Amino acid sequence: MRAFLIAAILVACCIPAWCVQEYSALVVGAPVDIANPTSWIYTLTNTSSSSSFTVWLLAIEIDEGTDVTNIHSPSGWSCDWSVPHFINWMYVSGELPAGESLSGFQADYSREPELQSWTVMFNNTDNPGETPTDFGTVSLLSVPEPSSIVALLVGVTALCGRKRRKHS
């Protein structure tokens, strides 16, 4: 165990500075109705390590077998979905600063999308001509199944009972 801990510390300390990306984002999506997953809501988080990078564009790309039927934008953002299978949300009245999240990006589809990838574009306030881009796959917000919740409760109850017996 000690060797594993030392190796983990060495790896963490020896990551070259050029591997660290100052700008980054995370997009999490969830169906509005799990029984009918054709309407999705997305949360965008600007995970940039530098406050110089603000998000001004979020794009969601879906598989070609799925059509966009409707969209909703958070306050201050506009949307263009004229290109099939591609939705672009752009800021109108403010960009998303580093460390902040914004929800309310919603899209309705003709069927449940099989592919959901994202593109986020940043402004660099330290270098106004620079527009870095980050890419990824939409992370799904997981909702635990009822059986998982029951198993968790049974385990916690057992641990509490064991602790109570130990102190008696």
Tell me the pLDDT tens digit for each residue of 71-88: 999 999 999 998 888 999
Predicted local distance difference test score (pLDDT) of residue 148? 53
Residue 13 within a domain: no
Assigned domain for 100 exists: yes
Asked if the structure places residue 165 within a domain, the reply is no
Query: For residue 37, what are the contacts with CB-CB under 8 A and spacing of at least 6?
Result: 31, 112
Better-scored residue on pLDDT, 157 or 128:
128
- In angstroms, the CA 56 to CA 95 distance is 5
Q: What is the pLDDT of residues 102-125, one digit of tens each?
A: 999 999 999 999 999 999 999 999
Q: What is the CATH number of the domain that holds 89?
A: 2.60.40.740
In this structure, are residues 117 and 135 in contact, taking their beta carbons and an 8 Å threshold?
yes
Q: Give the up-direction half-sphere exposure of residue 39: CA atoms within 13 A in the CB hemisphere.
A: 9
- Reported as a single tens digit per residue, the pLDDT across 15-34 is 444 445 799 999 999 999 98
Task: Find the domain containing 132 and state its range.
Answer: 22-145
Burial letters 132-163, b for 16+ CB under 10 A, else e: bebeeebbeeeeeeeeeeeeeeeeeeeeeeee
pLDDT in tens, 53-74: 999 999 999 999 899 999 999 9
DSSP state of 118: E
Please check whether residue 50 is in contact with residue 23, taking contact to mean a CB–CB distance below 8 angstroms: yes
Query: Residue 5: inside a domain, yes or no?
Result: no
Question: Do the bridges between strand 116-124 and strand 133-137 make them parallel or antiparallel, or are there none, so unpaired?
Answer: antiparallel
Count of domains observed in the chain: 1
In a domain, 154, yes or no: no
Q: Is residue 153 part of a domain?
A: no
At residue 71, what is the residue type? I
CA 52 – CA 127 distance, rounded (Å): 9
In a domain? residue 162 = no
* Residue 12 lies inside a defined structural domain of this protein: no
Query: Model confidence at 128, in pLDDT bands (50, 70, 90)?
Result: confident
Q: Which pTM value belongs to this model?
A: 0.72
Q: Which amino acid is at 62?
A: I
* Position 161 pLDDT exceeds 90: no
